[in-house]
Amino acid sequence: MTSLLAFALSCTKSPASKILVLYYSQTSNTKAVAEEIAGRLGADLEEIVPVVAYDGEFKETIDRCLQERETGTFPEVQPLSVDLKAYDIIFLGYPVWFGTYARPVEGFLETVDLNGKTIVPFCTFGSGGLDSSVRDLKEKFPDAEILPGYGVRAARIDAVPAEIDRFLKEGGFIEGEYEKYDDFPAAQPATEEEAAIFDAAVAGYPMLNAKAENVSSRAVTGGTEYLFEARDIPREPDQAEQGHLIKVYVLCEEGKAPVFTQVLR
């Protein structure tokens, strides 16, 4: 985090550094995040637009994406109206599909070279994917400087303004005070009360079926953030009795029901 902060602070002090917020959005969630970032930074904003748009329906999008993955094809995207060479820092935004950046972004990145750039990823997702998509981005552009990114569940899109404000201040991209959080302490076996918080946070989300085993927590603005180690529970009788461990972040704000904010698989 020290190197991130030092670099970002140098960027805020250098008027020569040009910033582009570049994004793809299917349902407008990622667009909302992109506009928030661009507005806070006074940065240029550019959208990645497929020539043939994806249907907004979940099943149709999945079916098309699967077909493209199976055939090794990518959607054609419209030319950008900006020259990427003119920008030092690129905030790259996308929804997470199949654990990585959405297919239109994946295809777009096949046509450009971002090595030598500074890239700040941001994404929206159903349960997670920031970590895995960043790994793919680092593999794609090993000579780019890829800074820690921001991710938000689509179900929590209302939290974006406050979280982006903190994210940009913490990174040194904008000035202002923010509450510094302690690191999570070592995990301990979850108590019954903590397990109940986990269960309440993931209840009703069909893609997450797990049982809390260990947990650590820290105080955050307005409440407590938990980092659970949870065991995937097999859904089918013929699957192994024990699934693998996953990490689940849960936010418990005063006066509000607990919600999970991200899953790391």
Which CATH number covers residue 89? 3.40.50.360
- Residue 238: band (very low, low, confident or very high) from pLDDT cuts 50, 70, 90: low
- Is 2 a residue whose pLDDT tops 70? no
pLDDT of 167 over the 70 cut: yes
Percent of the chain clearing pLDDT 90 (strictly above): 85
Say if CB 154 and CB 127 are below 8 A apart: no
**Looking at the structure, do residues 130 and 29 belong to the same domain, yes or no?**
yes
Average pLDDT over residues 89-102: 96
> Of 115, 137, 170, which residue constitutes the final position of a domain?
170
Contact predicate 248/210, CB 8 Å: yes
Would you say residue 231 lies in a domain? Answer: yes
Whether residue 155 sits in one domain with residue 117: yes
**Beta carbons of 74 and 48 less than 8 angstroms apart:** no
Query: Same structural domain for residues 30 and 138?
Result: yes
24 and 145: one domain? Answer: yes
Parallel, antiparallel, or unpaired: how do β-strands 100-101 and 89-97 relate? antiparallel
Given a contact cutoff of 8 angstroms between Cβ atoms, the answer to whether 161 and 36 are in contact is: yes
177 in a domain, yes or no?
no
Asked if pLDDT for residue 26 goes beyond 80, the answer is yes
**pLDDT confidence tier of residue 174, bands split at 50, 70 and 90:** very high
Do 95 and 211 belong to one domain?
no
In the chain, how many domains are there? Answer: 2
Whether residues 41 and 158 share a domain: the answer is: yes
Same domain, 138 and 204: no
SS3 content of the chain, % helix, strand, coil (to 5): 35, 30, 40
Same domain assignment for residues 31 and 142: yes
Q: How far is CA 210 from CA 91, 155, 173, 189, in A?
A: 33, 19, 37, 15
* Overall average pLDDT of the 72-97 stretch: 96
- Alpha carbon separation from 25 to 95, 177, 223 (Å, rounded): 7, 31, 31
Please tell me whether residues 166 and 196 are part of one structural domain.
Answer: no
Mark whether 76 and 165 lie in a shared domain: yes
Helix/strand/coil (H/E/C) assignment for every residue in 26-63: CCCHHHHHHHHHHHHHCCEEEECCECCCCCCCHHHHHH
Domain limit, last residue, from 140, 170, 200: 170
Band (pLDDT 50/70/90 cuts) for residue 201 is very high
Residue 66 inside a domain? The answer is yes
Q: Which of helix, strand or coil describes residue 181?
A: coil
Give this prediction's pTM: 0.90
Indicate the residue among 142, 170, 198 that finishes a domain.
Answer: 170
pLDDT digits over 202-231, tens only?
999 998 999 999 999 999 999 999 999 999
How far is residue 128's CA from residue 100's CA, in Å, rounded to a whole number? 10
The answer to whether position 64 is within a domain reads: yes
Query: Residue 231: which domain range?
Result: 188-264
52 band by pLDDT with thresholds 50, 70 and 90: very high
Residues 196 and 162 in one domain: no
Shared-domain flag, residues 71 and 8: yes
- Checking if the pLDDT of 38 tops 90, the result is yes
Residue 21 pLDDT grade (very low, low, confident, very high; cuts 50, 70, 90): very high
